[in-house]
Amino acid sequence: MNVRITLRVDGEERSTTVDSRTTLLDALREHLSVTSPKKGCDHGQCGACTVLIDGRRMLSCLKLLVGCDGSDVVTANGLGAASGKSEAVRDPAGELGGLHAVQRAFLDHDGFQCGYCTPGQICSAVGMFEEAAAGQPSHVTTDLADERIVLDDAELRERMSGNLCRCGAYVNILAALRAAQPRSPAGRAPSELPEDGA
Amino acid sequence: MIPFDYQRAAAPADAVAAVAGRPGAAFLGGGTNLVDHMKLGVAGPDLVVDVSELPLNHVLETDTGALRIGATVRNSDLAAHPLVRRRYPALCRALLSGASGQLRNAATTAGNLLQRTRCPYFQDTSTPCNKREPGTGCSAIGGHTREQAILGASAHCIAVHPSDMAVAMLALDASVGVLGPYGERTLPLDALHRLPGDAPEQDTVLRHGELITDVELPARRFAARSTYRKVRDRASYAFALVSVAAALDLDDGVVRDARVALGGVAHAPWRATRAEEVLRGAVASEGTFRQAADAELTAARPYGGNAYKVPMVRNTLVAVLRGLTAERPDRPYPGWHGPGLEEESG
């Protein structure tokens, strides 16, 4: 069954006709030439294909494109200010040389080795920061009723556990996440945390 | 993947009619399990009816003080809901211990209940499996049994149900609302999942075309003193080897009422009624907790590689019950302050 689908990808309206079996990941990479989401396991286990769908991080390998008609999809490619036309995610300062703050932090802290998992890590981190800002608890949150989330290392590790890095660059990914987290007006972001020699 | 037609249903009745009218049709929720099974060849529906956008995305308090959770509520939204966080800590902790942030953003309430076993033989179409292909045999019996069932298994299947959420809901006396081609029905969650018997291909009692529309958690005194603890190979993002959901209603050191459910041990989320019987009316003590665990585990039948699960369930259950009698019962176990934190704050 062929279906015509229209969606926003990194701020641009895109249309394509695909077989109903096509995943969002394959449509992005093979039909729309958006190659920043990577195919790692293709079974929802590694996180390399993470994108933001209507502002929420999800695995594009488990999403059928036919279910994405009208969706707003942002990949790592669309996060920066240079291409930041998306409604869902923006670099608010717009002063990072075309890079989103999370992307800049991964560069500054060497948060990768081969780089294959990096676009997924970055999209996941952007979604994760939004979730924490909205007060969503995690498995390691002590007080479930407290909606003021402090993203210490345990929280960051837990919330990013869906993104595997086979190079094992976790130490520097964590350093990048510490540096990239949005600083809230109330000063809840633990910017005072040491950076462990990163 | 086998070719299929796709429809997005606008109303629950439309979805039911579409699936009921075609033997090869399947409902699609968040897709985190079904889409993977379609890739693996474990499932091959010829019609996929997308129910993820149905107007069932509600979490409401009913007149009786129960919590009604719509079928399409995402696992992450349910875990973050203020009423779930305050009143049903076991459910909140269970949801948060499942999968990853990305998967919880996609997975739905009904889809979580209906997810299928992660038994490696079930997912590998090159091996015999009675659940996937009835009558072909069980490769797990005599094979790799480390993750398999110790309770309620049969000679035809020793797979376990993978859900965390369902285990907590079971301990919270949940009921499930179902819409089918012949109308609505409500069944206790306890009655939804089947033991394998001689028909392991049937995970649940639902008939083809029946759609879960919501889950209801009644107002119960024990819900507030409830928690969920999951034991797994990694600290995060792994299925349970064993898990325990428990809820206690205490009256001056005596257990007025108790609920215990186990995960990772059976074909269905396992209600530990024998343990509950020991607990009810007894003094909340270490001895009682051990007795309760032992009572439940007399029925345990390990299969070689999973024998470790018997002491693991016993120890986890005792630790969970001990934690629930502590001053801060919302912590998964005594001393819990989140891995990596040096001291408790707040």
**Mean pLDDT split into 10-residue runs, chain B, 346 residues:** 97 98 98 98 98 98 98 98 97 98 98 98 98 98 98 98 98 98 98 98 98 98 97 97 98 97 98 98 98 98 97 98 82 48 38
Chain A positions in Cβ-Cβ contact with residue B346 (cut-off 8 Å): 142-143, 146
User: Could you give the CA distance from residue B332 to residue B346 in angstroms, rounded to a whole number?
Assistant: 16
Q: What is the DSSP letter of B242?
A: E
Residue A157 has pLDDT above 70, yes or no: yes
The answer as to whether B35 is a domain residue is yes
pLDDT of residue A194: 44
pLDDT of residue B329: 60
The answer as to whether B274 is a domain residue is yes
User: Could you give the CA distance from residue B259 to residue B58 in angstroms, rounded to a whole number?
Assistant: 26
User: Could you give the CA distance from residue B73 to residue B88 in angstroms, rounded to a whole number?
Assistant: 16
Residue A86 has pLDDT above 60, yes or no: no
Mutation site for A-interface testing, chosen from B46, B100, B123, B230 by largest number of A Cβ within 10 Å: B100
The answer as to whether B262 is a domain residue is yes
- The beta-carbon neighbor of B237 closest among A56, A154, A162 is A162
CATH architecture for segment(s) A86-192:
Orthogonal Bundle (1.10)
Same fold yes or no, A2-77 and A86-192: no
Domain with residue B248: its CATH number is: 3.30.390.50
- Residues 6+ positions from A34 with CB-CB distance below 8 Å: A9, A10, A28, A75, A77
pLDDT of residue A81: 57
Mutation site for B-interface testing, chosen from A140, A147, A163, A193 by largest number of B Cβ within 10 Å: A140
pLDDT of residue B341: 37
Provide the number of CB pairs (under 8 Å) joining chain A to chain B: 134
Chain A positions in Cβ-Cβ contact with residue B106 (cut-off 8 Å): 58-59, 62-63
Q: Which residues constitute the domain of residue B266?
A: 222-324
3-class secondary structure, B214: strand
Total of domains in chain B: 2
Interface of B with A in 49-88 (CB under 8 A): 50, 52, 76, 79-80, 85-86
3-class secondary structure, B314: helix
For chain B, say whether A192 makes contact (Cβ under 8 Å). no
Which fold would CATH assign to domain A2-77? Ubiquitin-like (UB roll) (3.10.20)
Instruction: Kindly state the average pLDDT of the residues A183-194.
Output: 50
- The beta-carbon neighbor of A135 closest among B48, B80, B237 is B80
pLDDT of residue A98: 82
3-state secondary structure A1-43: CEEEEEEEECCEEEEEEEECCCEHHHHHHHHCCCCCCCCCCCC
Domain boundaries, chain A: 2-77, 86-192
User: Could you give the CA distance from residue A160 to residue B100 in angstroms, rounded to a whole number?
Assistant: 8
User: Could you give the CA distance from residue B199 to residue B194 in angstroms, rounded to a whole number?
Assistant: 9
Å between B95 CA and nearest CA of chain A: 8
Residue of B nearest to A69 (CA): B8
Q: DSSP string covering A71-130, please? A: -EEE-GGG-SSTT---SS---SS--STT--HHHHHHHHTT--SS-TTHHHHHHHHHHHHH
For chain B, say whether A54 makes contact (Cβ under 8 Å). no
At residue A182 the predicted structure's pLDDT band, cuts being 50, 70 and 90, is: confident
Residue A187 has pLDDT above 50, yes or no: no
Query: What average pLDDT is seen over chain A?
Result: 89
Domain with residue B21: its CATH number is: 3.30.43.10
- Which of A196 and A8 is assigned the larger pLDDT? A8
Residue of B nearest to A44 (CA): B32
Instruction: Kindly state the average pLDDT of the residues A20-44.
Output: 98
Q: Kindly state the percentage of chain A with pLDDT values over 70.
A: 84
- The beta-carbon neighbor of A139 closest among B32, B96, B346 is B96
